[in-house]
Amino acid sequence: METIKSHIVYGGTLRYLKHDSATTGTSMTLSVFVPAGEGPFPVLIWLSGLTCTEDNFTTKAGAYKAAAKHGVIIVAPDTSPRGEGVADDPAYDMGQGAGFYIDATQAPWTPHFRMESYVVGELIALIDAGFPTTGTRSVFGHSMGGHGALTLALRHPELFRSVSAFAPISSPTRCPWGEKAFSAYLGADRAAWAGHDAALLIEGGAATGVYDDILVDQGEADPFLVEQLKPELLKAAAEKAGQGLTLRMQPGYDHSYFFMASFVDDHVAFHATRLKA
């Protein structure tokens, strides 16, 4: 990986990096924060939401003080492949910036939109090879990235110690954002969609006996709450499956990074406890 720029923050080192991805067939960018010291450190992967790059979380979330305190590496990749020759859509909720952390099976998305394989395969391997990690990791994210964090943790439980989310798309098979993206990326067969729906996966027992608790923060003033996010479906699924879920409805908070910055320390601490258990 090539270092684009580097900063010292809270005694640790924050690097912006890029590399040629064999999975997406494009150049991919990411940021990596490593605490001070020799390590090794556990890893916390952040997945961002629609329209975001690796820079949104890096500059806005304010997570590195807590990461330094708890001795945790934080990795923030871009949300999709980008560049000339990569399929795109004029809408903000499709195409570049909207990878949904799945592997597309439909043209024209198939060649490059393989974000599930990128995160759970190539990205993890690159981080473990290039940084002083313990080989243990957790995952969290926001909105589309909250969906990604939940579904990747549920689909690949052997890879992650814990999972949390801010305002996740809880059930993409039952909301406009998800229905639009899944129709394009995965085709018309709704049975194929179910394997990427956090609420349905939890209801089916994917997290039972794996994760003691799942932490979700949701702003009550979020403009997408009712139509797109539907945390009540996560809650119902967890209750049905007997799965631990801490759903915190936060009065007055919206969908922005101001919301995430207010509670990100709680999430870093939540994961650090489990990563070091």
Output the six-digit token pair for 134.
Answer: 């313990």
Residue 187: predicted pLDDT: 97
Helices (H), 77-230: 115-117, 124-130, 144-155, 176-186, 190-193, 198-203
Residue ranges of the chain with per-residue pLDDT less than 70 = none
Residue 246: predicted pLDDT: 98
Active-site residue among 143, 162, 170, 171? 143
Residue 17: predicted pLDDT: 98
The predicted model scores a pTM of 0.97
> Which residue carries 């709450």 as its tokens?
225
Please classify residue 38 by burial: count the beta carbons closer than 10 Å to its beta carbon, then call 0-12 exposed, 13-18 middle and 19+ buried. Answer: exposed
CB-based contact 71:43 (threshold 8 Å): no
Residue 86: predicted pLDDT: 97
222 tagged catalytic: yes
Residue 218: predicted pLDDT: 98
Active-site residue among 142, 147, 255, 271? 255
Query: Cβ contacts of residue 125 below 8 Å, gap of 6+?
Result: none
212 tagged catalytic: no
pLDDT 10s digits, 78-131: 999 999 999 999 999 999 999 999 999 999 999 999 999 999 999 999 999 999
* Nearest residue to 143 (alpha-carbon basis) of 244, 206, 230, 214: 230
Active-site residue among 78, 197, 217, 222? 222
Q: For 192-253, give the DSSP string.
A: HHGGG-HHHHHHTTSSTTT-S-EEEEEETT-TTIIIII-HHHHHHHHHHHT--EEEEEETT-
Which amino acid makes up residue 34? Answer: V
Rg of the chain taking only CA atoms, in angstroms: 17
255 tagged catalytic: yes
Residue 63: predicted pLDDT: 98
Residue 131: predicted pLDDT: 98
